[in-house]
């Protein structure tokens, strides 16, 4: 059983909705990946997503693009991230996932990448440009490893849900809006129905991401899913306002989910 699955089982017993923050290494400047993971855990994270910066992040909005550009300019790369995961792995049981574009994996080599992830202690992979039909090359080497390839489900591709959710592992990443990552004033009106539809097909936990930016949104979602993912809202604060503001935001969301 993967560390992600174990964590969701434990959370269910505690009746707690998972808080899954996302960060890009090197933002804010000078912050190590190891320290950021420990800070986020302390602020209330149940799982943590590490964004592997890419030159052309087509599924991401302007905030994460800006963070990626900064990270790349500082020389961040996949080897450094895997090394950092290996280091911090001894100090935390919080599941760690990589958000990574497929070119980085392909360039590394799917088999070699899967082995490197296992050795470092990566628990899950979210590959935003690798839909179900193209995933075989990566699924094969991951087979038998305690690493979950997370399925992304979209409201705009409803008829595909039964197919793509058949073998979902870890959790289902429910994309809550159309478009790319970024903060949104209002969540899509069809979200509730969509989350119910997903639950009707799979028993895997559902984590909602893309567009969540306020404690009110988090609170309103807490009983409708098993986790929420916070990306751009956190990255923007870390970029523009610094570590303290970023961590305060995480604490506020934790509180909104717990009350």
Q: Which residues bind other proteins (CB under 8 A)?
A: 54-56, 58-59, 61-62, 65, 69, 72, 77-79, 101-104, 106-108, 128-137, 152-154, 156-160, 164, 175, 178-180
Name the minimum Å distance from CB 99 to other proteins. 12
Residue 60 catalytic?
A: yes
The residue among 175 and 195 lying less far from other proteins, judged by its C-beta, is: 175
- Give me the sign of the Cα torsion angle 157, 160, 162, 168: negative
The least distance separating other proteins from the CB of residue 163, rounded to whole angstroms, comes to 10
Q: Which is nearer to other proteins, 188 or 219 (CB)?
A: 188
Residue 147 C-beta: closest distance to other proteins, Å: 19
H/E stretch holding 232 reads helix 232-240
- CB neighbours of 242 closer than 8 A, spacing ≥ 6? 28
User: Which secondary-structure segment (H or E) carries 64?
Assistant: helix 62-73
Cβ atoms < 10 Å from Cβ of 167: 12
Active site residue 83: no
71, 122 contact by CB (below 8 A): no
Nearer to other proteins, 54 or 249 (CB): 54
- Nearer residue to other proteins within complex by CB, 92 or 108: 108
Q: How far apart are CA 24 and CA 52, in angstroms?
A: 7
Q: Please report how close the Cβ of residue 200 comes to other proteins at its closest, in angstroms.
A: 18
Task: Compute φ and ψ for 48, nearest 5 degrees.
Answer: -135, 135
41, 46, 60, 148: the active-site residue? 60
Chain center to CA of 188 = 20
Residue tagged active-site, from 41, 49, 68, 183: 49
Which residues are known to be catalytic? 49, 60
């Amino acid at each position: 059983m993967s560390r992600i699955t174990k964590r969701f089982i434990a959370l269910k017993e505690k009746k707690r909705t998972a808080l899954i923050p996302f960060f890009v290494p090197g933002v804010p400047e000078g912050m190590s990946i190891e320290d950021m993971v420990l800070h986020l855990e302390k602020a209330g994270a149940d799982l943590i997503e590490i964004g592997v910066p890419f030159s052309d992040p087509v599924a991401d909005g302007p905030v994460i693009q800006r963070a990626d550009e900064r990270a790349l300019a500082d020389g961040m790369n996949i080897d450094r991230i895997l090394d950092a995961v290996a280091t911090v792995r001894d100090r935390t049981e919080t599941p760690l996932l990589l958000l990574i574009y497929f070119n980085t994996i392909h360039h590394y080599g799917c088999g070699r990448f899967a082995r490197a992830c296992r050795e470092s202690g990566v628990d899950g992979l979210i590959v935003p440009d690798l839909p179900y039909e193209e995933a075989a090359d990566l699924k094969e080497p991951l087979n038998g490893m305690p690493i979950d390839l997370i399925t992304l489900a979209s409201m705009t591709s409803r008829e595909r849900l039964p197919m793509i959710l058949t073998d979902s592992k870890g959790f289902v990443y429910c994309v809550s809006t159309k478009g790319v990552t970024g903060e949104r004033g209002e969540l899509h009106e069809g979200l509730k129905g969509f989350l119910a539809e997903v639950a009707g097909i799979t028993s895997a936990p559902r984590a909602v991401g893309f567009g969540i930016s306020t404690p009110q949104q988090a609170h309103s979602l807490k009983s409708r899913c098993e986790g929420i993912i916070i990306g751009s809202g956190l990255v923007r604060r870390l970029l523009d306002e610094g570590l303290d503001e970023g961590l305060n935001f995480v604490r506020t969301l934790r509180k909104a989910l717990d009350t």
